[in-house]
Structure 1
Amino acid sequence: MAPRYVRLALALGLLVPTLTACFEEPAPHEAIRDFLVGWESGDFAMAARRADADEASVRKALGDVGLHLDAASLRFKLLSVTRDGDTAKASFQAEVDLGENNPLWTYDSMLPLHLVDGRWKVRWSPSVIHPDLHEGERLAVKVDPRGRQPIVDRFGDSLQDEDTQYVAQVIPVQLSDPARLCQELAKVTGFAQDRLLSRILSAPPTDAVPLATFGRAKFNQIKAQLDRIDGLQIVDVKPPVAPKSPVQIVGRVSAVTAESEQQLGGPQRAGDTVGRDGLQRAYQDQLTGSTETRVIVLDTKTWETVKELKSWPGRKNAPVRTTIDSRLQRAADLAVAGTQPVALVAVDAPTGQVLAVSTKDLDQEKDALAGKFPAGTTFSIIATEALLKAGLDVGQKIPCTADRTVGGARFQQTGVTSSAPTFEADFAHGCVTALASMARRVDERALADSAAAFGIGAPWGLPLSSFSGTVPAGTTDAARAKIIAGSSVRVSPLAMALVAGAVRAGTWHPPTLVTAPSSPDPETILPKLPSPRPLDAGIAAELRSLMRAGVATGSARAAAAPGDPVYGVASTVTYVEKKERSQLSWFVGWQGDVAVAVMMRGADPAGASSVAGAFFSGTRKDF
């Protein structure tokens, strides 16, 4: 309080020389100073002593201003002083911080003064507080929070279902002891007692004032305690906040708690919701917007609004439109059900838009979008692009041996079917020994360029965590062999789905998950996405032919499905994760314009391909 007192006192003190020089004593400036400084600093007794009315009444009226406005602070700036004999007028500007993330409310008012027994006094009336306030009236703040907007799929359909929440509210005029109610509610909920009370005192007394909102589990836990609070009403509401699939991408929503209120930088109001994860968290500000706030004058007898003094519309909230295709998402969910831990990502090949993300016992964001896994021989799609540029003939015979050492690195292959297959057959069956043997036919720069052409390592700007992949240096034959075999590279299922999409479309496209709004934060812009990268048309056609063989005659046969031909490659890879030996199976390919990557934990070489086949078959059904 002291700094503001000194600040205002000094500001008013600057006028003393002028006032003293122009006016005969006694001058009104001390009365003006004491009244405004006392009001601003909360020393209402000092201010009341400078009024010509009952001091207790003035103290209460000035104290009620902050309560009725739920004001964080009040500040005053003296504008001018005029005197006419035994009367004077002081014009001042009031600056009221209403909190709740609203702008400051500023208005001009006036102090009428007159001499009373040789002392300057403020001629008291409610208009001193505000020019439009009269006897029998009071100020109030009316809020109108907007409901949380939905996250929608590419067709505009909501990705949330209704969920029951419970709102603890009061009607202020019906309360005999608001302070006691707030004390009891604060003990149960952890919300600050003074904040709860200020919401009650600032609201129109006949309005329902929500104080706290609870989810079903929390409400059931504390229901008995809430029932014992006299005057507290519980109403249930059904906002559409329960996430549909893909649940971890959409994200969960919860009512604001005492803890989340502090994290959000509050103050938040009951009924507000906070995104806990996924897009609900990333787009919290856009989905919730802000509360519309109005300062009004109330008739204290009828509690009807006499006049609106100021309003703030609040920031507009808006839905978040995603690229998710709910029909394909259902097909993906059915395909992964009942399997080993698995992640499936489907993208639109011509655009890179994410169509579906489904997992079982893996995380949709941390694993499917942002996981860092070895790609196995599915990475040969990228390596083959470099080899074709170097002049590789896919009809060339390259032995698929059970064991091969390249530059000191050992590779092993199970299920060898022929001692002298062509490269096309090696590619289709994912023969790691044959592919690794190609390390001397391509240099480090060529492999790096091909990886970049397929977006590996590209800077993505998704609103959720994602991983575009890494390729180590290929300075030795062994290092390049490991890259071609996919054992040393790290990719996410999303990255590999985009690789499949690039071969299908002839152009690599960066991923898109949200089409509106353009950024999770209105004040910042996501890093610019890399531009689409066209592939050489002839090489893309050759890759498509190789990937068709992967499903027609190769190790990805389990991915075959009715309808358009399925293209793809399959792979198994063994690696060490957290000091434990782990195995993955992969499928990377497409049907029509839907490109997918499926990654399954376990040693079943057909596991991922089978999930892909179930997905493609499921997309033919009429859900």
Structure 2
Amino acid sequence: MSSALDLDLSGVPTRRGRRAAVVLLVLLVVAGLAAGGWWWWSNRDPGPQPAAEAFASAWDEGDPAAGPVAGTPATVRQRYETLVDGLQLDPPAVTLTEVSEPVEGTATAALSVRWDLGGDRAWAYDTTADLVRGDDGWQVEFTPALVHPRLTDDLRLVTRRTTPQRADVLAADGTPLVTGRGVVEVGVQPSRVEDLEELVDDLRDILDLTADDLAERIEAAGENAFVPVVTLRDDDYAEVEDELYPLPGTVFRRDELPLAPTAAFARALLGRAGPVTAELVEEHPERYAAGDLVGLSGLQRAYDEQLFGLPGLEVAAVPGEDAAEDTEEAVLHEEPAVDGTPVRVTLDEAVQRAADDTLAQETEHPSALVAIRVSDGHVLAVANGPASGGLDIATQGRFAPGSTFKVVTTAALLAEGLDTDDTVGCEGEAVVDGRRFTNAEDGARGQVPFREAFAESCNTTFVTLAGDLPPDALARAAEDFGLGGQHGLGVDAFTGSVPTNEGATDQAAAAIGQARNLASPLAMADVAATVARGAHRAPQLVLDPDPQDPADERPLDPEIASALQQLMREVVTNGSGSAVADVPGGPVHGKTGTAEYGDESPPRTHAWFIGYQDDLAFAVLVAETEDSFGGRVAAPLAADFLTRLAD
């Protein structure tokens, strides 16, 4: 028997059946509405915001054509590159700041654009992009005004660079040492040459040139080209002008270059400035461009960023190739050039000239001379002779100091209780662990006071006495004179190396400035200045910009300092340094040195003389000599230097 809610036998729904049908119908209607809502939601217009964001992101990455743009990407990309290639800048940073509400299928996006100009400088501006709603959604209409509001189809963007004024290198008192000085560029114009072979021979003779490829360069150049031969200072050109000027084919250009007072003036230390190399342009494109005058070596190179300054940059909209004749350019942004800032050094022109002139006569062997003012540690001269190969051996050379190191050894011996009046042996030879040591020219004086052995630089005395010293005694004493220490020079320099000795033979050789002991002329001039001052103060060279502050002054034991001063005076009055005994001015204190090196017999030598007179300490080195001695080679140069200063 069926329920009253079920269908009856005639097929007419019961009350329960009618309710179920209603529920099913409602569910179908709801489902239909949901499906229609999903279709409407998924196909609604998202608005211009996503398209504007995508375009800003694509431009920020360097390719606006990769964003949603109207037209073909290739066409947009070509238009964009034509507009901005002249900037020669990295892609800008682009930020979307606002999108307007769409009106009848159009909208506007506000963009912030920032181009990096280098050196913490930038060109920033606001621009707008128009968007349109098409069959493919919202797209940006690319126009020149989008890239910059003042651009049109007739204009393109370029950057123009302005070169800063290079700064001078100044002396401590502000006097220019390296500054703009007149030069003459000597060249050849091929169209004016009558006899090429004769011209090249004349140029070689007059200018003392090798110029092996000069003829080939002239032949390969255009008829009206300027083929450079040499650049001469005004004074040097004046000496040969009468011979050069009449030669058929020679042409001349006047210019100005940053130069020291003379060609030799602290040349290796100060370095030179000249046309920038391709390598430097590639390494620092934000700073240099072809034709710039930059530091190429020495201090000029080390401080080039300060001396060179910061180039200026101008951004302009200029007429393109197909622009109308009356199209005018417009300057859109300008960053003025920042001129270089001078570098101030302690070099003294008079002292440096005297040092350079002294070494000019030593043309056969590498040579160097360093002078330091005792009272303040200022380096007044850094000279390298003509045979030094352009190297700054005065501050960076590494040479055995020879007997000039006996100043340090004596300080160690005095600290261990030696008295300068003690009797010591100055025999013809001394043997340490089987190694034979002798004196210069096999000299011998027998039993003498230590002061006499020091004055005559008796090797066997020091070799013998060194055996009583602790292994680290020489290294510790060297520190008191600045050897191997820190410096505040502001340029690369070698302050010396005196390692702890390893065994009796090593210690014996180190006591006379051989073994593994190494020093530069700067370091040994510092030793002389320390004796004169009675304390060590790190020497100074670059004053501005201020380098790292040197260590505080460290005094020597007053009794040791006084003894060393007396001993160095006796070297001049009664010993191996007599070459400086009669120079004008105050009394000279000094120490000769001869360092053997190599395997030749007799061995080659480095000849030294260090000393001081009044407020000036100095070191002279003549390197790689043929069995010469400090007293015979270096001391006479010291005498010449001091005489030039007095004159």
1:539-558 paired onto structure 2 within 5 Å: 539-558=560-579
Q: 1:400 to 1:221 in 2, by over 3 A?
A: farther
Task: For residue 511 of structure 1, report the CA deviation from its aligned partner.
Answer: 2.4
Match of 1:108 among 110, 123, 126: 126
2:197 alignment partner in structure 1: none
**SS at structure 2 position matched to 1:159:** strand
Aligned to 2:460: 433
Match of 1:176 in 2: none
The match for 2:312 among 273, 289, 292 is: 292
Aligned to 1:402: 428
Aligned counterpart, 1:77: 95
Deviations 1:430-473 (A, max 9, x none): 11112222124432343332111011111335444322222233
Residue type at the aligned position of 2:302: A
Question: Match of 1:318?
Answer: 341
Equivalent residue letter for 1:284: D
SS at match of 1:444: coil
Q: Which residue of 1 aligns with 2:469?
A: 442
Q: Percent identity?
A: 31
Distance 1:453 1:380 in 2: 14
Change (3 A) 1:532 1:277: same
CA distance in 2, matches of 1:390, 1:270: 63
1:224 equivalent in structure 2:
221
Task: Say if 2:371 and 2:619, in contact at 8 Å, map to a contact too.
Answer: yes
Partner residue in 1 for 2:609: 587
Give the TM-score normalised by structure 1: 0.75
User: Quick check: 2:168–2:258 contact (8 Å CA) kept in 1?
Assistant: yes
SS in 1 for 2:352: helix
CA contact (8 A) 1:48 1:56 kept: no
The one-letter code matched in structure 1 to 2:619 is A
Following superposition, the deviation at residue 147 of structure 1 comes to 2.6
2:243 alignment counterpart: none
Q: Offset of 1:555 from its aligned partner?
A: 0.5
Task: Supply the distance in 1 between the matched residues of 2:434 and 2:509 (Cα, whole angstroms).
Answer: 11
CA distance in 2, matches of 1:64, 1:469: 60
Answer whether contact 2:571 2:591 (CA < 8 A) is retained. yes
Letter in 2 for 1:572: T
| TM-aligned CA distance change 1:239 to 1:440, over 3 Å | closer
Between 470-479 and 38-47, the greater mean CA deviation after superposition? 38-47
- TM-score relative to the length of structure 2: 0.73
Helix, strand or coil: the match of 1:162?
strand
The DSSP-based 3-state class of the residue aligned with 2:448 is coil
Once the 2 structures are TM-superposed, how far is the Cα of residue 381 of structure 1 from its aligned partner?
0.8
CA separation of 1:580 and 1:450: change in aligned 2, threshold 3 A: same
Amino acid at match of 2:500: A
RMSD of the alignment, in Å?
3.9
The answer for the alignment partner of 1:566 in structure 2 is 588
SS of match in other structure, 2:465: helix
For 1:69 and 1:408, the matched residues in 2 are separated by 76
One-letter amino acid of the counterpart of residue 314, structure 2: R
For the Cα contact (< 8 Å) 1:287–1:320, is it kept in 2?
yes
Q: CA 1:577/1:263 → structure 2, altered by over 3 Å: closer, same or farther?
A: farther
The offset of 1:24, in angstroms, is: 6.0
Establish whether residue 50 from structure 1 lines up as the match of residue 77 from structure 2.
no
Moved more, 126-135 or 83-92: 126-135
Letter in 2 for 1:376: G
Distance 2:602 2:356 in 1: 29
Aligned length: 538
1:248 aligns with 2:289: no
Residues 541-573 of structure 1, C-alpha deviation per residue, up to 9 Å, x if partnerless?
111111111111111010231011111011223
Contact 1:365 1:464 in 2 (8 A): no
**For 1:344, which of 361, 369, 373 is the aligned residue?**
369
SS at match of 2:306: helix
Query: Within 5 A, what are the aligned runs for 1:4-403?
Result: 25=45, 27-29=47-49, 32=52, 50=70, 62-86=80-104, 87-98=106-117, 103-114=121-132, 126-133=144-151, 139-155=157-173, 156-159=175-178, 162=181, 224-225=221-222, 237-241=255-259, 245-264=265-284, 268-297=288-317, 306=330, 308-309=332-333, 311-313=334-336, 317-339=340-362, 340-341=364-365, 342-360=367-385, 361-362=387-388, 366-403=392-429
Instruction: Provide the C-alpha distance between the structure 1 equivalents of 2:219 and 2:43, rounded to a whole number of angstroms.
Output: 66
Amino acid at match of 1:70: Q
Shift of 1:277: 1.9
Residue 534 of structure 1, CA deviation: 1.1
C-alpha distance in 1, partners of 2:90/2:216?
Answer: 31
- For residue 189 of structure 2, what is the aligned residue in structure 1? none
Deviations along 1:269-299, one digit per CA (max 9) or x if unpaired, are 1232343221122112222222122334568
Corresponding residue for residue 544 of structure 2: 516
Query: One-letter code of the match for 1:542?
Result: A
Secondary structure of 1:158's aligned partner: strand
Letter in 2 for 1:329: Q
Say if 2:525 and 2:619, in contact at 8 Å, map to a contact too: yes
CA 1:263–1:120 in structure 2 vs 1: closer, same or farther (change >3 Å)?
closer
Alignment gaps of 5+ in structure 2: 1-39, 186-213, 227-251
Change (3 A) 1:267 1:473: closer
Which one-letter code corresponds to 1:516 in the other structure? D
The verdict on how the C-alpha distance between 1:58 and 1:398 changes in structure 2, with shifts beyond 3 A counting, is: closer
Counterpart-to-counterpart distance in 2, 1:235 and 1:139: 35
What is the CA distance between 1:45 and its match in structure 2?
7.0
Deviating more after overlay: 375-384 vs 135-144: 135-144
* Maintained 8 Å contact 1:255/1:273: yes
Residue by residue over 1:403-445, the C-alpha shift from the partner in whole angstroms, topping out at 9 and shown as x without a partner, is 1224443221246474332111111111111222212443234
Q: Unaligned 5+ residue runs, structure 1?
A: 1-19, 167-216, 520-525
- CA distance in structure 2 between the partners assigned to 1:328 and 1:486 by the alignment: 28
Q: In structure 1, what is the equivalent of residue 486 of structure 2?
A: 459
Deviations 1:334-380 (A, max 9, x none): 21222252221111122322211222212575522122222222111
In the TM superposition, residue 152 of structure 1 has moved relative to its aligned partner by 2.8
Greater CA deviation, 41-50 or 453-462? 41-50
Q: 1:447 to 1:244 in 2, by over 3 A?
A: closer
SS in 2 for 1:239: strand
How many angstroms apart in 2 are the aligned matches of 1:26 and 1:226?
69
How far off is 1:34 after superposition? 7.5
Q: Report the alpha carbon displacement of residue 106 of structure 1 after superposing the two structures with TM.
A: 3.4
Would you say 1:481 and 2:508 are equivalent positions?
yes
Offset at 1:50?
A: 2.0
Structure 2 CA distance for partners of 1:25 and 1:470, relative to 1, 3 Å: closer
Q: Which of the pair has more CA radius of gyration? A: 2
Kept in 2, the 8 Å contact 1:282–1:463? The answer is no
Distance in 1 between residues matched to 2:298 and 2:215, nearest whole Å: 22
CA distance 1:263–1:121, change in 2 (3 Å)? closer
Give the deviation of 1:128 after TM superposition.
Answer: 2.2
Letter of the structure 1 residue corresponding to residue 127 of structure 2? S
Contact 1:354 1:511 in 2 (8 A): yes
Paired with 1:486 and 1:272, the residues of 2 have a C-alpha distance of: 47
Give the secondary structure class of the aligned counterpart of 2:82. Answer: helix
Moved more, 220-229 or 141-150: 220-229
Is the CA contact 1:357–1:364 (under 8 Å) kept in the aligned structure 2? no
Distance 2:122 2:445 in 1: 80
Q: Is the 8 A contact 2:439 2:459 kept in 1?
A: yes
CA distance in 2, matches of 1:285, 1:32: 42
For 2:374, give the aligned amino acid.
A
